[in-house]
C-alpha cells in the first residue's frame, strides 16, 4: 500500500491510498477518513460506494460525510468504482466500463479479467483495511449513491451479518428492469445469466436484509424513471422489512442532495454500529 496524501480533517485524518488488488489485477485507489478516536483504538467503519463516472474523490470532497462521522467516531471509506489503467477494458459510453463497475464480478469477456468489483470490495479492500488501519471490522455499515446505492443494498443482502445497517441515496433499485442495469448485466454477466443476486428488488423479494435500511430519493431526480424506487418499496413492504424509504420533495440526483441528508444517514448508521 502506498499513501498518496493525508490531510487533517475535523480532528481526524483524510487519506488517499493505492494498492494492488488480486481481484482486479490492477492498482486501485481508495480514500479513508479516520476520526480522532482512531488514534487510541479501533473504530467502526462506514462504506460509501459512489455512482457512475465517479472515482474515490467525488464523495470524499462533495458528500460532507467527514464532519458527521467525526462527531460519531466513525471511519468512512470511499472506494473507486471500477478498475482502471492500461489494458483494462472500457466502453465509449459513460455507463459501461471504467467508472461503471456496478459492484459485481463480471463473467464475460472482455470484462472478466479485471471487473471483479464485488470481490474487490468484500475481500481485497476489506482485508487490507483490517490489516492496515485501526478499524473494528465487527462493526461495519454501508451506504452509497445511484450505482453505489445499488451496490450498498445488494452487497448488504448478499453478505448477511457483515453490515449492521445499509442506506442509499437515489439507488438503482431494480436494474434488471432498467436501462441502468440490463445493458451492463448483459455485458458483464451475459443475457442468459441469473441476475437475481445483483438486483436489490429481487434480493429483497428472495431474502431481505438482517438489519435496518434507509433510502432517500429526490422527487425531482432527473433519472427517477431509471431507479425504480417504488419496486423496491413494494418488495420491502411484502417482506415486512425494517426499512425507511423517503421521497424528498424537490431534490435531484446531485451531491447537493447527498450533502443535505448525509448527517441523517450517518446518525442512522451510528445507532446500529453502537447498539
Q: Decide the pairing of beta strands 163-169 and 135-144.
A: parallel
Average pLDDT in the 207-225 region?
Answer: 98
Question: At the topology level of CATH, where does 2-274 sit?
Answer: Rossmann fold (3.40.50)
Angle made by CA atoms 207, 257, 236, in degrees to the nearest 5: 20
User: Which one, of 64, 9, 63, lies nearest residue 36 by Cα?
Assistant: 9
Which residues neighbour 178 within 8 Å (Cβ) at sequence distance 6 or greater?
172, 226, 227, 228
Confidence of residue 43 (pLDDT cuts 50, 70, 90): very high
Three cell numbers written together for 4: 498518496
Please give the positions annotated as active site: 146, 221, 253
What is the rounded CA–CA span in Å between residue 166 and residue 131?
24
Strand partners, 28: 19
| Residue 55: alpha-carbon gap to chain centroid | 12
List the domain boundaries for the chain.
2-274
3-class DSSP state of 225: helix
| pLDDT confidence band for 180 (50 / 70 / 90) | very high
Tens-digit pLDDT profile for residues 17-40: 999 999 999 999 999 999 999 999
Amino acid at each position: 500500500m502506498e499513501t498518496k496524501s493525508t490531510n487533517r480533517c475535523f480532528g481526524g485524518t483524510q487519506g488517499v491510498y493505492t494498492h494492488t488488488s488480486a481481484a482486479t489485477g490492477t492498482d486501485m485507489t481508495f480514500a479513508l477518513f479516520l476520526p480522532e478516536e482512531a488514534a487510541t483504538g479501533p473504530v467502526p467503519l462506514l462504506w460509501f460506494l459512489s455512482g457512475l463516472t465517479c472515482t474515490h474523490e467525488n464523495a470524499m470532497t462533495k458528500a460532507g460525510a467527514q464532519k458527521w462521522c467525526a462527531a460519531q467516531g466513525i471511519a468512512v471509506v470511499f472506494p473507486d468504482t471500477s478498475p482502471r489503467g492500461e489494458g483494462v477494458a472500457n466502453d465509449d459510453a459513460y455507463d459501461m466500463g471504467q467508472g461503471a463497475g456496478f459492484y459485481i464480478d463480471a463473467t464475460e469477456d472482455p470484462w472478466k479479467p479485471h471487473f471483479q468489483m464485488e470481490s474487490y470490495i468484500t475481500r481485497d479492500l476489506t482485508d487490507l483495511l483490517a490489516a492496515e488501519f485501526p478499524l473494528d471490522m465487527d462493526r461495519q455499515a454501508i451506504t452509497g449513491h445511484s450505482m453505489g446505492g445499488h451496490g450498498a443494498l445488494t452487497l448488504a443482502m448478499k453478505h448477511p451479518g457483515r453490515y449492521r445497517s445499509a442506506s442509499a441515496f437515489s439507488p438503482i433499485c431494480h436494474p434488471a428492469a432498467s436501462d441502468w442495469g440490463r445493458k451492463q448485466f448483459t455485458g458483464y454477466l451475459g443475457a442468459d445469466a441469473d441476475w437475481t443476486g445483483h438486483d436489490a428488488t429481487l434480493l429483497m423479494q428472495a431474502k431481505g436484509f438482517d438489519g435496518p435500511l434507509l433510502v432517500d430519493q429526490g422527487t425531482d431526480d432527473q433519472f427517477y424513471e431509471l431507479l425504480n424506487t417504488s419496486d423496491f418499496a413494494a418488495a420491502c413492504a411484502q417482506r415486512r422489512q425494517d426499512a425507511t424509504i423517503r421521497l424528498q420533495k424537490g431534490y435531484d440526483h446531485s451531491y447537493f442532495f447527498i450533502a443535505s441528508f448525509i448527517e441523517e444517514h450517518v446518525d442512522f448508521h451510528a445507532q446500529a454500529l453502537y447498539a
